[in-house]
Structure 1
Amino acid sequence: MDKKSGLKSIMKKNDCPDKQGNGGAKKNLKFVGVNGGYETTSSEDSTGEEDQDEVEEVDSSEPEVEQGEESETAQEEAAATGEQGDGVQAEVAEGSKEPDVAQAATRPQEEQPASELVDKNFMAACHFLKDRMAEVAAPNKEMRQVLMVLYQEWFRVSSQKESQAETVTLYLREVGYHTPTLLRYIVNLADGNGNMALHYSVSHSNFSVVKLLIDTGLCEVDHQNKAGYTAIMLAALTAAESPEDMEVAQQLLRMGKINARASQSGQTALMLAVSHGRTMMVQVLLDCGADVNIQDRDGSTALMCACEHGHTEIVKILLDRPECDISLTDKDAHTALSVAMKASHSEIVELLKARADPATVTDPTAQL
């Protein structure tokens, strides 16, 4: 039996709505911007009740992964939806080879029973796809079915809050050993909302899985989802609970463009960390090369964000940077000092006055 007919046989045998997406449920993987703060919750498995992947974009700059409850009507009206299997983000040249180091890192041990633990439909889909990458851009019905199997199983294994590093390791090893040319493609699969496994594992603070993904050396860490956020931006919002987690977060920060701006708001990872009061992460971002003076689309800087929210310790950290320019103004001609005064954060006002040139603070209320 050839691979093509073998795949058809497997998929026909297991053909059911919640498995193959034939009129049934798809994984409810949501990426939501919500006013009022960042809160990490899990994406859910396909249960036969959700109909499609969904991105919801509310008037806010804070990204959030939200659990599978139905959203408010106002949020649904702003949603941009997309199905898994369409708009593949990672490109793999047909017949291309991954680096030898990646293959070696994912080669199963001789006694490893991975083939018994990895979903057979998933591996059948990999074998079907490896020599047909040119068909992915304009998939026919059969290719769409194969991609659906691939997407659903990969996101089920890698992108849940409860995803286990050991299981993800088995999948990476099996793909790297049997279909090595697909390893980059699998690692960088993006769902209909533009979210990769890296986005989800970072949002869940599942740093053991994050490390597996970035250690392949193949992960596109600067990829922005449809809401405009990279995994690095999301890492800025996490509260790493252990030195090991923080080490992985630092590894990720050093791998990509730490000063990249979110496509919608123009905010950087540093601004997100500042606005959410992530003091330790602010220090780490600065140590990794974050630019303290970048301005978002409204002209605000990280310092202005800290002044507005009253994060005194973060203001001190930012002012300790000699390059921190407190004279910058936003689009409304406000400086960090005028922002702090308007918000009545007196301690921050004194810190800024102490740092400023006396000639610039003779009449700070004039800027209000």
Structure 2
Amino acid sequence: MTDARELPPLPPMERLVELLFDAARMGRDEMIPALLQAGVDIEVTDAKGYTPLVIASYNGQADATAALLAAGAKVDGAADARGNTALMGVCFKGYAEIAQILLDAGADVNRRNGVGQTALMMAALVGKTAIMDLLLEHGAEASVADAAGNSVHSLALSQGNTALAARFAATSPSS
């Protein structure tokens, strides 16, 4: 058995923080508990204001997202500079599995970003209908508008997605 006095010292905290962000970005979920145990704050933010949870989510790392949530990351914690949460980012990127993980952890499906857009609006912008269905199942409001007056309906139209726009025409706030 190795004596604790023989173990090398831990790297500086700045390096441990970098390692946590790297683990989140690359899906190295097995590293997360050790880094947190070493004292890294699970809600630490990088220069852009991202937390490890946002980084894992935005990079499509389902296991790392789940590991961070299991370790106590706040599902609706820090948002990015535009006010986008992890849920909004994965809806825009089309990561349905991670959206489900975040929703199961209690993500606010109707939270608004800095310009008043919701996760449903993000999914509408890129035509992610499966994610939109998932959000609607979790209580997403389809009849709201952002700060510029855009609705799910008008955002779908702006992207040329007439089929999706038709689906939400009746929910448009101007209807």
**TM-score w.r.t. length of structure 2:** 0.84
Q: Could you list the runs of 4 or more consecutive aligned residues of structure 1 that deviate by over 6 angstroms after TM superposition?
A: 113-116
Tell me if structure 2 keeps the 8 A contact 1:312–1:347: no
Tell me if structure 1 keeps the 8 A contact 2:24–2:56: yes
- 1:297-334 deviations in Å (ceiling 9; x for gaps): 1111111111111112111111112x311122212111
Of 147, 150, 155, the residue aligned with 1:331 is 147
Alignment: residue pair count? 174
**CA distance in 2 between partners of 1:351 and 1:217 (Å):** 50
Tell me if structure 2 keeps the 8 A contact 1:201–1:207: yes
CA RMSD of aligned residues (A): 2.8
Structure 2: tracts of 5 or more residues without a match: none
TM alignment of 1:338-357, pairs within 5 A: 338-353=154-169, 356=171
- 1:306-365 deviations in Å (ceiling 9; x for gaps): 1111112111111112x31112221211111110111122332244247x38xx564xxx
**CA distance in 2 between partners of 1:332 and 1:237 (Å):** 25
Counterpart in the other structure of 1:274 = 91
Tell me if structure 2 keeps the 8 A contact 1:304–1:339: yes
**CA distance in 1 between partners of 2:38 and 2:156 (Å):** 43
Aligned in 2, Cα 1:217/1:319: closer, same or farther, shift over 3 Å? Answer: farther
Indicate the structure (1 or 2) with the bigger Cα radius of gyration: 1
Tell me if structure 2 keeps the 8 A contact 1:353–1:361: no
Structure with higher strand content = 1
- By how many angstroms is 1:287 displaced? 0.7
Tell me if structure 1 keeps the 8 A contact 2:65–2:98: no
Q: Which secondary structure state, in structure 2, belongs to the residue aligned with residue 341 of structure 1?
A: helix
**CA distance in 1 between partners of 2:75 and 2:136 (Å):** 20
**CA distance in 1 between partners of 2:151 and 2:78 (Å):** 21
**CA distance in 2 between partners of 1:331 and 1:190 (Å):** 38
Higher relative contact order (CA 8 A, sep 6+): 2
Counterpart in the other structure of 1:249 = 65
- By how many angstroms is 1:113 displaced? 7.5
**CA distance in 1 between partners of 2:135 and 2:169 (Å):** 14
1:197 aligns with 2:19: yes
**CA distance in 2 between partners of 1:270 and 1:298 (Å):** 16
- By how many angstroms is 1:267 displaced? 0.9
Counterpart in the other structure of 1:227 = 48
Tell me if structure 1 keeps the 8 A contact 2:120–2:135: yes
Tell me if structure 2 keeps the 8 A contact 1:315–1:348: no
Aligned in 2, Cα 1:279/1:298: closer, same or farther, shift over 3 Å? Answer: same
Tell me if structure 1 keeps the 8 A contact 2:153–2:166: no
**CA distance in 2 between partners of 1:326 and 1:217 (Å):** 43
Counterpart in the other structure of 2:33 = 211
Counterpart residue identity of residue 52, structure 2: A
Counterpart in the other structure of 2:102 = 285
**CA distance in 2 between partners of 1:312 and 1:305 (Å):** 11
- % identical equivalent positions: 25
Counterpart residue identity of residue 108, structure 2: D
**CA distance in 1 between partners of 2:163 and 2:33 (Å):** 40
- By how many angstroms is 1:237 displaced? 2.1
- By how many angstroms is 1:295 displaced? 1.1
**CA distance in 1 between partners of 2:136 and 2:106 (Å):** 15
**CA distance in 1 between partners of 2:24 and 2:133 (Å):** 28
**CA distance in 2 between partners of 1:234 and 1:309 (Å):** 20
Structure with higher helix content = 2
- 1:205-241 deviations in Å (ceiling 9; x for gaps): 1121123334x3844111111210001111212334x
TM alignment of 1:65-84, pairs within 5 A: none
Aligned in 2, Cα 1:346/1:208: closer, same or farther, shift over 3 Å? Answer: same
**CA distance in 1 between partners of 2:79 and 2:148 (Å):** 21
Aligned in 2, Cα 1:268/1:197: closer, same or farther, shift over 3 Å? Answer: same
**CA distance in 1 between partners of 2:51 and 2:108 (Å):** 17
**CA distance in 1 between partners of 2:60 and 2:89 (Å):** 13
Of 286, 295, 309, the residue aligned with 2:112 is 295
Q: Which secondary structure state, in structure 1, belongs to the residue aligned with residue 168 of structure 2?
A: helix
**CA distance in 2 between partners of 1:351 and 1:320 (Å):** 15
**CA distance in 1 between partners of 2:34 and 2:17 (Å):** 17
